[in-house]
């Protein structure tokens, strides 16, 4: 497994994040994958026209990993050879990673979701997360925990200002 670098690391330029994935899934594992794009898609992504919110990855029977539901707007200065915005795109992973993921996604409730997209040394990378779907009660607990943490931080700031 490749350890994905943080977006603030040198040589890494963040493009998009999928905040919805953090809310809807328990992320068990993260891995970095390359993506196959055509020329106008790369130019469009460099302009920031990438949406990961509805995206998911699926392992195909032929051993390929495909990314679905990711929307890349057509390039502004493109021509008749512009790409289709929501077409499936192939992800580039090592064969051993694909085999391991095949076993993990066979388990009920597990899915591959794109967490963020970033440029690393001039190439677009997608950080995939192996996620297990959250139940509604889990989502409520997360909201309660975050609001309690926010309240505690606010109280600490108020206390420090008074002193």
Q: Within a domain: residue 35?
A: yes
Q: Within a domain: residue 159?
A: no
pTM over 0.85: no
- Condensed to tens digits (0 to 9), the pLDDT of residues 5-26 reads 455 566 788 888 888 888 888 8
- Condensed to tens digits (0 to 9), the pLDDT of residues 40-56 reads 888 888 888 888 988 89
Residue closest to 107 by CA, chosen among 140, 75, 133, 78: 133
The rounded distance, in Å, linking the Cα atoms of 18 and 23 is 9
Residue 80: which CATH number? 2.40.280.10
Q: What's the mean pLDDT in 123-127?
A: 92
User: What confidence category does residue 111 fall into, taking pLDDT thresholds of 50, 70 and 90?
Assistant: confident
The helix or strand, by DSSP H or E, that contains position 114, with its residue range, turns out to be strand 110-120
Q: Which domain holds residue 127?
A: 12-134
Which of 9 and 88 is assigned the larger pLDDT?
A: 88
**Is residue 148 exposed (0-12), middle (13-18) or buried (19+ Cβ within 10 Å)?**
exposed
Q: Within a domain: residue 2?
A: no
Long-range pairs of 6-12 with CB within 8 A, sequence gap ≥ 24: 7/116, 7/118, 11/120, 11/121, 12/118, 12/119, 12/120
Q: Within a domain: residue 65?
A: yes
How many domains does the structure of the chain reveal?
Answer: 1
């Amino acid at each position: 497994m490749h350890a994905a670098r943080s977006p603030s690391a040198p040589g890494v330029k963040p493009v998009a994040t999928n905040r919805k994935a953090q809310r809807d899934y328990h992320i068990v594992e993260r891995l970095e994958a390359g993506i196959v794009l055509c020329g106008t898609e790369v130019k469009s992504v460099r302009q920031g026209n990438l949406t990961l919110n509805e995206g998911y990855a699926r392992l195909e029977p032929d051993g390929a990993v495909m990314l679905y539901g990711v929307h890349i707007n057509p390039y502004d200065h493109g021509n008749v050879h512009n790409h289709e915005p929501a077409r499936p795109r192939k992800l580039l992973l090592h064969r051993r990673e694909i085999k391991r993921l095949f076993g993990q996604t066979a388990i009920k409730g597990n899915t591959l979701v794109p967490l963020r997209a970033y440029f690393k040394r001039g190439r677009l990378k997608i950080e995939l997360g192996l996620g297990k779907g959250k139940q509604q009660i889990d989502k409520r607990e997360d909201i309660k925990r975050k609001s309690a943490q926010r309240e505690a931080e606010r109280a600490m700031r108020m206390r420090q200002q008074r002193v």
